[in-house]
């Protein structure tokens, strides 16, 4: 998996807005310092961080400011991962590269598939998985070439039908910190058996500004015993 062109913005305004219910803007001690590339550089002050964490712990109806910290990222992931990611529809939007339009335009090679933690084990017939992959890719590439030669849509349809779920697809995704709080929770994806979730996605989420203090706040609470 790949995570590229990450943008994070509206941290300062979201934190300031969290003070609207009690008109306590005079207690705000956060400082907006501009952008470091596409990542907003806001220094959240001690007073504001305490308020933010109190609201997070109070529940989703209180931590509305988390829905106002926005993230945009280009994710290249296998289809089997996108199937699970598509469960998170509320507050998220994605725009994908199209297999419908572009699948037949470039050669099909092993680089087109998710192989990050590939394990070349044997099946019951004592055949290595790498040999199975080689056969699959050869057959898919022949179908692709046949479609380009003939423009017969029957070949294209079978190519689509046979495409493995490890096919890598790029999507530009927008979400917010509330989405990430749910996705990265212990009961959701943090310890998922797919490493695409538990290592790749969670690892990327931890690189976001104030991820530990806001998205993974439960870990800090456990360490402090609160």
User: Residue 226's pLDDT band (boundaries 50, 70, 90)?
Assistant: low
Going by the DSSP 8-state scheme, the letter that residue 30 receives in this structure is -
Shared domain for 87 and 135, answered yes or no, is no
Shared domain for 103 and 204, answered yes or no, is no
Say if residues 177 and 67 touch (Cβ distance below 8 Å).
yes
Please report, in angstroms and rounded to a whole number, the separation of the first and last CA atoms in the chain. 35
Give the end of a domain, one of 152, 167, 182.
167
Q: What is the mean pLDDT of residues 194-213?
A: 96
Closest to 72 measured CA to CA, from 189, 169, 176, 2? 176
Shared domain for 17 and 86, answered yes or no, is yes
Tell me the pTM: 0.90
Shared domain for 37 and 123, answered yes or no, is no
The pLDDT value given to residue 224: 63
Among 69-83, 114-128, 147-161, the minimum mean pLDDT is found in 114-128
Shared domain for 68 and 159, answered yes or no, is no
Shared domain for 85 and 10, answered yes or no, is yes
Shared domain for 136 and 33, answered yes or no, is no
Shared domain for 173 and 104, answered yes or no, is no
Q: What is the mean pLDDT of residues 195-202?
A: 95
The pLDDT value given to residue 6: 98
User: Residue 87's pLDDT band (boundaries 50, 70, 90)?
Assistant: confident
Task: Give CA 78 to chain center in angstroms.
Answer: 12
* Residue numbers of the domain that contains 158: 98-167
The answer to whether residue 151 scores a pLDDT higher than 90 is: yes
Say if residues 180 and 71 touch (Cβ distance below 8 Å).
yes
Shared domain for 83 and 146, answered yes or no, is no
Number of domains in the chain: 2
The answer to whether residue 102 scores a pLDDT higher than 80 is: no
The answer to whether residue 113 scores a pLDDT higher than 80 is: yes
């Amino acid at each position: 998996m790949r995570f590229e062109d990450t943008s994070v913005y509206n941290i300062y305004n979201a934190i300031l807005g969290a003070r609207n219910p009690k008109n306590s803007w005079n207690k705000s001690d956060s400082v907006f310092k501009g952008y470091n590339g596409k990542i907003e550089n806001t220094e959240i002050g001690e007073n504001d961080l305490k308020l933010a964490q109190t609201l997070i712990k109070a529940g989703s109806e209180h931590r509305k400011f988390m829905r106002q910290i926005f993230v945009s990222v280009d994710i290249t992931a296998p289809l089997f991962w996108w199937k699970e990611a598509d469960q998170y529809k509320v507050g998220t939007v994605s725009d994908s590269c199209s297999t419908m339009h572009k699948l037949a335009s470039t050669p099909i090679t092993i680089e087109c598939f998710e192989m990050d933690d590939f394990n070349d084990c044997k099946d019951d017939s004592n055949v290595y998985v790498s040999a199975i992959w080689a056969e699959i890719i050869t057959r898919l590439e022949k179908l692709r070439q046949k479609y380009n030669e003939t423009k017969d849509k029957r070949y294209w349809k079978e190519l689509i039908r046979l495409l493995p779920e490890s096919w890598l697809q790029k999507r530009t995704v927008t979400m917010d910190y509330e989405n990430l709080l749910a996705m990265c929770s212990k009961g959701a994806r943090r310890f998922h058996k797919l490493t695409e979730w538990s290592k790749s996605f969670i690892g990327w989420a931890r690189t976001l500004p104030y991820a530990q203090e806001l998205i993974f706040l439960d870990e800090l609470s456990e360490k402090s015993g609160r």
